[in-house]
Structure 1
Amino acid sequence: MTDSADISTIQLAARAFYAWFHGRQPEPAGVLAIQAFLGTPIDTDELNRLGERLQQNQAFLEAQRPLVEKWQRRMSSPTGISDEDAATLIEELFSGFDHALLYERNIRASSTLVHRGQVNSVHARVEEMPCWTLHLNLAGGGIFLSENMERRTAPGDMMLMRPDARYHYGLHPLEEDWQHLWALFQPRPHWSELTAWKELDQGILLLALPEGEARLKVERLFRELIDIGQSGSIEQSNLQHNKLEEILIRARVALGDQESKPVDSRIRHACEYMQSRLEQKFTLEEVASDCNLSISRFAHLFAEQMGLGPKAWINDIRLQKARKLLLTTDEKISRIGSLVGYEDPAHFTRYFSKNMGCSPRHFRRSFSKDT
């Protein structure tokens, strides 16, 4: 058997996860390796409690048993496994991982730091949760994708997911890391007004905290929420709910009562006009004419209302639709390019790679349906 001194952190993590999925308690070195690669503080007791829930979930066991058996011979090999095999093993073990198993009766809150290339940079898919999920982006950025929306998170973004939300999320391809705080919880009845945030898609809500003391205060409260969960106090549940309620109140106060300014009807019509013609060639002059505007007035008004010029906007919309098609269909990449207005597949790949930091093929593989 390979000497433990020669085993890398990712190999230790793979062995610990393999033992864990077998229902065995990981050794201390394995727990440290798990912490390093999850980017989340988690102790042996927490792992054991989660492991117990895994072993009680028949659907999960049936899905994971073939994978555990697949790796049995290689894990028992005297030569051990390579770093590449270890990364593949962890990725396969967590394919289709039921995030609902993370939820306990009390509020569960923690922090996660994702680094590119580590195991936790693999993207995840969430179908349904038995609870609400709150994320606070601290540094770097993640990406949240669903059927009808895409959001690249920035520092100060708070993403709130209801149980009916269905989405993919992970480290944004253009970011090297992503640090965020998160909480799983059941809202109290009187929180409905506090959680009336901007809805991006079904069950997916956003509140962007402006930079300044208010954002720092929410972050401090969130860290206190995490600390309370590790205290073991007999009043832990009440203290956590009170702290989370204060977070939601502070967030709403920081946002203020400002309502989004309605988009000019002519610009709204222009957006609909361009979105309905993604496969076609059209000029901005044609769009402006259809809106009864001169091209100069159209360009100025569009940028004022939408925050960027019409050409940049339509390119973003094309790439957003391309990413959704890569996620939700098995269409060839060249076909997807043509469906969003790129006749030349090579041009589509170059433009996609320039804007996302990875090729369409790599993006599809990162967000595959099995992760």
Structure 2
Amino acid sequence: MTEPADLEHDLATQVLIELYSEIPPPSKLVTGHFHSGGDYRVLRPDGVGSWYLLYTAGGTGHFQIGGDKLTLRHGDLVLVSPGTEHDYGTVGTYWETWWAHFQPRREWHAWWSLPQAMPGLSYVRLTRPSETDRLVSAFARLHRDAQLAGLSPTGDTELHLLEKNLAVQLTMNGIEEVLLVATSSLRRDTRHLDPRVQLVLDAVTSDPARPYTLTSLAGLAQVSVSRLAHLFKEQVGDSIMNVVVGLRLQRASELLGATDMSVVQIARAVGFESPHYFSRQFGQRFGLPPTKYREKVRSPELEQY
């Protein structure tokens, strides 16, 4: 753990903090490691379009949503859903954090389930040295891979497209490791997801393109619609249909990058009846319309955030 005496910002570090305090594009995978002083604060009233993973490696910080405030210390990991207000900063004199903005792989929804501390914010405290050490190691590796992929102003911008794609996938592997460690830690100390919630998650994850309704999923779980909606939101941290839409959009992004299917074909393949609605939802999630997104992921030019 870094000592407070080592945490005075040089000019380059301060520039990076100011840059990353801006709102990242929803489709952008961005990672960072900050040693923040007592004046550090980020305020994004409307949140961001991506998921935000934040780990406290030293010092003290806080995350506030409305009137609720969560103090963050060594071993605390938070996962903030898209569109959730961001108001966080240092408590005291310093705060060391590792973090990532990302869009999850679609299969993650079947197993990640951190308990909610506030609406839109899930939280777990890791106390075992084996877990906290592993998280720091995973964050360090994924951040290096992100730099290689050009996802940091200090990253390498000379990689070929194939090398960049490999580095991006390795970064996502690191984020997955962090989430798996946190989920595994919780399951040693608490119960698993309610089996009815797990049943619904398994169904929508395995085939997100099916024409699901709350009524059909409640029938699958053999509970009322209201009961399923409450259980799912409580344990997963998002509504059922938001998860379904997210899974469909993630699959669409994969098809845009890997196939020559038209936007209309992809929309229907992933479960959207209206291509216009699909394009609007895709733009809100990824920050670009589908055609522009395809051009970006297939371009050998590296985008700097």
* Amino acid of the structure 2 residue aligned with 1:140: G
Q: Are the counterparts in 2 of residues 143 and 152 from structure 1 also a CA contact under 8 Å? A: yes
Equivalent in 35, 39, 43 of residue 113 of structure 1: 35
Per-residue Cα deviation, 1:132-168 (whole angstroms, up to 9, x for no partner): 0000001111111112521110101001100031141
- 1:255 paired with 2:186, answer yes
Corresponding position: 1:103 with 2:103: no
- Matched positions, count: 170
For residues 123 and 107 of structure 1, the distance between their equivalents in structure 2, rounded to whole angstroms, comes to: 18
Equivalent residue letter for 2:122:
L
| 1:13-51 CA distance string (max 9 Å, x none) | 9xxxxxxxxxxxxxxxxxx62x232565x9xxxx7xx9x
Which residue is equivalent to 1:216?
A: 133
SS in 1 for 2:179: helix
Amino acid at match of 1:256: R
- Tell me, in whole angstroms, the C-alpha distance in 2 between the residues paired with 1:213 and 1:259: 19
Q: Alignment partner of 1:165: what SS?
A: coil
Whether the 8 Å CA contact 1:164–1:202 is kept in 2: the answer is no
User: CA distance change for structure 1 residues 156 and 217 in 2, over 3 Å: closer, same or farther?
Assistant: same
Residue 125 (structure 1) aligned with residue 41 (structure 2):
no
Deviations 1:301-360 (A, max 9, x none): xxxxxxxxxxxxxxxxxxxxxxxxxxxxxxxxxxxxxxxxxxxxxxxxxxxxxxxxxxxx
Paired position in structure 1 for 2:62: 143
Alignment of 1:36 onto 2:50: no
How far apart are the structure 2 equivalents of 1:193 and 1:115?
Answer: 38
Identity %: 20
Larger of the two Rg values belongs to structure: 1
Q: Is the 8 A contact 1:109 1:229 kept in 2?
A: yes
Indicate the residue corresponding to 1:152 in structure 2.
Answer: 71
Deviations 1:81-120 (A, max 9, x none): xxxxxxxxxxxxxxxx7x43x2364521111111125xxx
Aligned pairs (5 A) from 1:51-62: none
Q: Which runs of 5+ in 1 are unaligned?
A: 1-12, 14-31, 51-96, 261-371
Aligned twin of 2:244: none
Shift of 1:244: 1.3
In structure 2, relative to structure 1, the CA distance for the partners of 1:135 and 1:126 (3 Å cut) is farther
Task: Rate the CA distance shift 1:103–1:236 in 2: closer, same or farther, 3 A.
Answer: farther
How far does the alpha carbon of each residue in 1:30-85 deviate from its partner, in whole angstroms, 9 at most, with x for none? xx62x232565x9xxxx7xx9xxxxxxxxxxxxxxxxxxxxxxxxxxxxxxxxxxx
Aligned counterpart in structure 2 of residue 195 of structure 1, from 95, 112, 118: 112
* More strand by percentage: 2
Question: Where does 1:266-305 land on structure 2 (aligned, <5 Å)?
Answer: none
Map of 1:66 onto structure 2: none
Instruction: Please give the secondary structure, in 2, of the residue aligned with 1:129.
Output: coil
Tell me if the contact between 1:113 and 1:179 (Cα under 8 Å) persists in the aligned partners: yes
2-side partners of 1:127 and 1:254: how far apart?
A: 31
Partners of 1:258 and 1:148 in 2: CA distance? 29
Runs of at least 5 residues in structure 2 that lack an aligned partner in the other structure: 1-8, 150-162, 192-305
Check whether the contact 2:84–2:120 (CA below 8 A) recurs between aligned residues.
Answer: yes
* AA of the residue aligned to 1:243: G
Q: Which moved more, 1:220-229 or 1:147-156?
A: 147-156
